[in-house]
Structures are given as structure tokens and as C-alpha cells.
């Protein structure tokens, strides 16, 4: 049996609960009653399931406890963006960001504690890799938000937080099922996006899934040499290989492209990016560099971003400029972690992490 029911797909959890109910001589209907409390109508602990007898709740707490993520820090931006720093049972920490937009509430989730890839514009990359998250730790980032306020239930999920999802494929694979399954959180597959720098084995596995999960490729430069200076992973999984793998992906593809002044925002960059987008039928999300995301890097100006986008559109590419959210909080990936770790180390009299 898994260490926790929350680490199982809904189908596997149902089978486990059916066995548990039978073994304990309980009515069969208890299994579905219990399963609803995992994801559909989640509870923080079995003691909250007041529809169950007290003795059963106590037994469940002892034998099938429900683990939690603990919100160490929650920051609320003036634009409604909310940033969470979750402390894990082993002391590691991860981040999530909830971004409201009209009726849509997009949750950006982490898949690893830290990241080994070292992209120069990402604060998480300066942390280094700590460990993979389990499936429940990934999906529980959404679960905890529902527990705190059911009205804030995410409508969309993007794997664009800390870590590279496709380097943690087994857990991400299960988490995708939990997030999507009607017996889980029931979020439509087309509202779930997995972002990758281009981990080829993981891309192949994701492409095998029948659901219409969305794929986003962290491109950030249209030429191999430029991309290598921004993203060391280019040495292992080259741009041409990544694009070739994406051709076999029969689902909508997005290029994620952080604009950095003097690095990847020239007219020539726009023209080459347009060629790559046409090759895959991809559309492009242009992202302003978050001021805290990459020390030593300068964000492309607003005027230049607009001109870059217009140049893409004039060549028939669907290009969207994403608004920077949470500018008044530590909303860039890894920022809140770094700030929290500096505070924790200062309290213990330990030298702070190098962040520049």
C-alpha cells in the first residue's frame, strides 16, 4: 500500500478503500463515501468528516492518515495574485502561485524542490536540485487551496513552478491523473499545461497519454548558441532535437519566451522564432522578465516587447504578451523560497544564501 491514499490515482485509491472497508467489516458504501473526501470534497483530517461515526474517524486517522502541506508564507498581491511557500514534512519548501483572471483561477504548481537545470533567468535554478516531489505533494498544492477556500478552487493548472516536470515523470504522471480525473479534482485536460525545457524521454511519455493535456516548451531563444547561454540543458537536449520531438506531439503546443534585453529580443530573433513557430503550428507566450527572476539581467522594455510581438503577428504567428503578475510580491519562481531561507538562516546565525 502507498504511504498515503493521496499518492494514488483515484482508481487505485478506490480499490484500496474497497479492500480496507471489506477487511474492517464495514458496509460497502463506505468506500465511495471515504473516497469523496480525498479530492472531490476534501478534508484536512478524517475528524472533519462528521458524516462518519467518531470511532471510524479515529481508526482512519490511525491507519490511513491524510498528509498536509503547511503554508509557511502566503503573499497577496494588489492584483489578486497569491504566492504560497509550502513547508514539506522533511523541511524542504516549494512554491505555488494562484493567478485570478475573471472567472479563471490558474494555479502554477511545483514538481520538484529546487531545480538542477540552472537557467540564468530563474531564481529556482540558483537553489540547485533538492529532491523530486511525490504525486500527492504536487496535487496537494491545489487541494490545500480548496481546503482553505472552496471558492478559490483552481480552474486551470500549469506545471511552471519550481522544477522540471519531465525529470519527475512518474510522480507528474500520477498527479496529472489526480488533477484531471472526475473522481479527483476534475480539472479538464485542456486546462492543464505541462511546461518543459525539452526533456526528450518525458516528452515521449507525455505524448502517449490520450488526454488533451497541453505542452509548453520553454524556448527562450530561437538559436542554439543563444539558448545555450541562457539554458545549460541545451548541451544535452539541443533545440533541433526538442523541436523534432515536438513534431510528434499531436496536441496544442506553446512556446514560452522570456524577453531579456540584448539577449534574445532582436528583430532577427523574432524572425527566427516565427519560423520555428510556423514549423510546429505553435503559438507564442511572450513573458516580461520578472524583476526578481534573474539578477544581472535587464528586462526588455515595454515598447520593445510590443514591437517584438507585432513582428511575430505580422508573420502570421499568434503571439500573446503575458502581463507580469505579482510585481509587489516575491512572485518570480524561487524568489519567495530564497527570501524565506535568508530569514531562517539569519535567525539561526547561518550565512545567507548567495542570491546574486
- Higher per-residue pLDDT: 330 or 268: 268
pLDDT at position 354 over 50:
no
What digits encode the pLDDT tens for the residues 55-67?
999 999 999 999 9
Lowest mean pLDDT among 29-38, 94-103, 122-131, 229-238: 122-131
Catalytic residue list contains 333? yes
Lowest mean pLDDT among 24-33, 116-125, 247-256, 340-349: 340-349
Domains of the chain are 5-63 (1.10.150), 70-345 (3.20.20.70)
What DSSP string describes 87-138?
A: EPTTS-EEEEEEEEETTEEEEE--SEEE-SS--TT-TGGGT-EEEEPPHHHH
What per-residue confidence (pLDDT) applies to 127? 82
Q: Which residues contact 40 (CB under 8 A, 6 or more apart)?
A: 183, 184, 185, 186
Single pTM value for the model = 0.91
What per-residue confidence (pLDDT) applies to 322? 86
CA gap 294, 232 in Å, rounded? 15
pLDDT band at 293 (very low <50, low <70, confident <90, very high): low
Take residue 77 and report the three cell numbers written for it: 498581491
What per-residue confidence (pLDDT) applies to 2? 47
- Higher per-residue pLDDT: 39 or 345: 39
Task: Give me the catalytic one of 115, 119, 122, 333.
Answer: 333
Provide, for the chain, the percentages of residues in helix, strand and coil under a 3-state DSSP scheme, each rounded to the nearest 5.
Answer: 40, 20, 40
Average pLDDT, the chain: 91
What per-residue confidence (pLDDT) applies to 343? 61
Q: Which residues contact 4 (CB under 8 A, 6 or more apart)?
A: 64, 65, 66, 67, 136
Q: Are 142 and 179 in contact (CB under 8 A)?
A: yes
CA gap 125, 92 in Å, rounded? 15
Q: Are 94 and 110 in contact (CB under 8 A)?
A: yes
Beta strands in the chain (DSSP E): 70-76, 82-87, 93-101, 104-108, 112-114, 129-132, 156-159, 192-196, 214-218, 253-259, 283-288, 319-321
pLDDT at position 94 over 80:
yes
Lowest mean pLDDT among 3-17, 182-196, 209-223, 342-356: 342-356
pLDDT at position 54 over 90:
yes
What digits encode the pLDDT tens for the residues 244-291?
999 888 778 999 999 999 999 999 999 999 999 999 999 999 999 977
Task: Give me the catalytic one of 95, 164, 226, 256.
Answer: 95
pLDDT at position 334 over 90:
no
The owner of cell 517584438 is: 308
Q: Which residues of 212-245 are buried (b: 16+ CB within 10 A; e: fewer)?
A: ebbbbbbbbbbeeebbeebbbbbeebbbeebbeb
pLDDT band at 355 (very low <50, low <70, confident <90, very high): very low
What per-residue confidence (pLDDT) applies to 340? 57
What per-residue confidence (pLDDT) applies to 352? 42
Amino acid at each position: 500500500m502507498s504511504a498515503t491514499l493521496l499518492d494514488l490515482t483515484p482508481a487505485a485509491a478506490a480499490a484500496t478503500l474497497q479492500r480496507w472497508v471489506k477487511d474492517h467489516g464495514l458496509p460497502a458504501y463506505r468506500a465511495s463515501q471515504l473516497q469523496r473526501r480525498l479530492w472531490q470534497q476534501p478534508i484536512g483530517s478524517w475528524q472533519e468528516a462528521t458524516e462518519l461515526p467518531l470511532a471510524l474517524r479515529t481508526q482512519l486517522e490511525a491507519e490511513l492518515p491524510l498528509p498536509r502541506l503547511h503554508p509557511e508564507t502566503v503573499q497577496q498581491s494588489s492584483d489578486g495574485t497569491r504566492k504560497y511557500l509550502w513547508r514539506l514534512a522533511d523541511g524542504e519548501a516549494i512554491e505555488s502561485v494562484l493567478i485570478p483572471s475573471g472567472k479563471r483561477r490558474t494555479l502554477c504548481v511545483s514538481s520538484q524542490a529546487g531545480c538542477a537545470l540552472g537557467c540564468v533567468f530563474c531564481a529556482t535554478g540558483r537553489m540547485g536540485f533538492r529532491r523530486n516531489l511525490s504525486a500527492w505533494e504536487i496535487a496537494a498544492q491545489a487541494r490545500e487551496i480548496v481546503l482553505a477556500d472552496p471558492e478559490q478552487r483552481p480552474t486551470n493548472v500549469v506545471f511552471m513552478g519550481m522544477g522540471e516536470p519531465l525529470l519527475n515523470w512518474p510522480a507528474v504522471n500520477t498527479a496529472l491523473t489526480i488533477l484531471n480525473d472526475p473522481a479527483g479534482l476534475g480539472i479538464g485536460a485542456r486546462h492543464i499545461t505541462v511546461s518543459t525545457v525539452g526533456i526528450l524521454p518525458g516528452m515521449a511519455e507525455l505524448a502517449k497519454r490520450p488526454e488533451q493535456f497541453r505542452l509548453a516548451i520553454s524556448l527562450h531563444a530561437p538559436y542554439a548558441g543563444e539558448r545555450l547561454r541562457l539554458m545549460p540543458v541545451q548541451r544535452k537536449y539541443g533545440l533541433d532535437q526538442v523541436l523534432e520531438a515536438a513534431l510528434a506531439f499531436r496536441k496544442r503546443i506553446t512556446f514560452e519566451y522570456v524577453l531579456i534585453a540584448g539577449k534574445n529580443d532582436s528583430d532577427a530573433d523574432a524572425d527566427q522564432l516565427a519560423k520555428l513557430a510556423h514549423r510546429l503550428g505553435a503559438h507564442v507566450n511572450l513573458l516580461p522578465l520578472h524583476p526578481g527572476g534573474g539578477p544581472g539581467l535587464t528586462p526588455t522594455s515595454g515598447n520593445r516587447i510590443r514591437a517584438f510581438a507585432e513582428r511575430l503577428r505580422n508573420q502570421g504567428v499568434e503571439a500573446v504578451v503575458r502581463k507580469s503578475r505579482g510585481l509587489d510580491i516575491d512572485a518570480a519562481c524561487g524568489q519567495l523560497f530564497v527570501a524565506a531561507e535568508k530569514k531562517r538562516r539569519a535567525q539561526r546565525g547561518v550565512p545567507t544564501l548567495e542570491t546574486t
